Amino acid sequence: MDWFYSHRYTIGIVVGVIFGILARLNMLRTDYRQYPTYPHGKIIHISLGVIAAGLGAVAVPALLDKNYTAVTFLSLAAQQFRDVRNMERQSLSKVDELELVPRGAAYIEGIAMVFEGRNYLVIFSAFLASLFSILFAWYWGIVAGIVSIWIANYFKSGNNLAKIAVIEPADIRMDGPDLYVGSVYIMNVGLTDNRDLILEHGLGFLIKPKNRNARVTLAHLGQRQAILHDISTLFGAYRDEGEPSLRPMAKLDMNTGTLAILLLLQEKDVEKTYIALHRVPVLESAVRMPSEAGVNKKKEA
């Protein structure tokens, strides 16, 4: 017992670093978007996670010893993580220029923000595990670390389209050169060959907002582009460079707020696409809440 007490700072730092790294690994996933890239992209973010875990764990002994000046290095860490955000933004912007269906600036900014924010969650996990290990016992530090990973896992996920809208398949039809998804006009298609290709490979969906907040969110151009990019990444885009008519589009019915989606996919599967649309993330930068404005709130009786 005396040995554990005399080495409590060392034990706390080790436990904190371990759980900080575990938190970062838990939040690091290469999914269908293939980001972060494997293996080099993962190496970068795991390395930053180790640094963040060390910062969070070491901050506890510094505070307990009243060495407050040592905690100022956290501000330097925050600057480094902001640089990470800028790095991700610049890298993705360059890559996006070569995409057949681009992510768009709003989606890129969201990804960059996520990678910065997750480093702060790592610091939180490491700090909590280290704090409980030092103040109580190493096993309480493990319990706190597990709880912190659960909390970090909760905050890493956001909303998806299923929470803000009702999604329905819709017919694609041509009225002469005019292309419609349901009753929503999409565009004019001049060439007969392109019309035939769109009817053969196209899928149409109507995304109906559940409330006024969702209506404004779906109207955001960045959110629309994110929907088109995600689905095209999952099922392949049926287009090539120099084919302006063969591109997925999203048009808004301004009377109802319904978003009509035209998709041109390599793998034409209505059921899979319907499920995938429900899982498309809602971008933080696209979220608008006009109902929370004081002018829109009903006066209390």
DSSP letters for 16-52: HHHHHHHHHHHH----TT--S-TTHHHHHHHHHHHHH
Q: What is the mean pLDDT of residues 234-247?
A: 80
Residue 107 CA to residue 96 CA, distance in Å, equals: 10
| Angle formed by the axes of helices 105-135 and 8-27, nearest 10° | 150
Residue 21: predicted pLDDT: 87
Q: Encode pLDDT of 257-269 as tens digits.
A: 899 999 988 888 8
Q: What is the mean pLDDT of residues 12-40?
A: 76
Q: Encode pLDDT of 96-107 as tens digits.
A: 888 888 888 888
Residue 107 tokens read as: 């989606």
pTM summary value: 0.80
Q: How many CB atoms lie within 10 A of CB 76?
A: 10
Q: Is the pLDDT of residue 45 over 70?
A: yes
| C-alpha dist (Å) from residue 26 to 55, 63, 118 | 19, 28, 10
The size of the chain, in residues, is 301
Residue 8 CA to residue 27 CA, distance in Å, equals: 28
Q: How many CB atoms lie within 10 A of CB 144?
A: 23
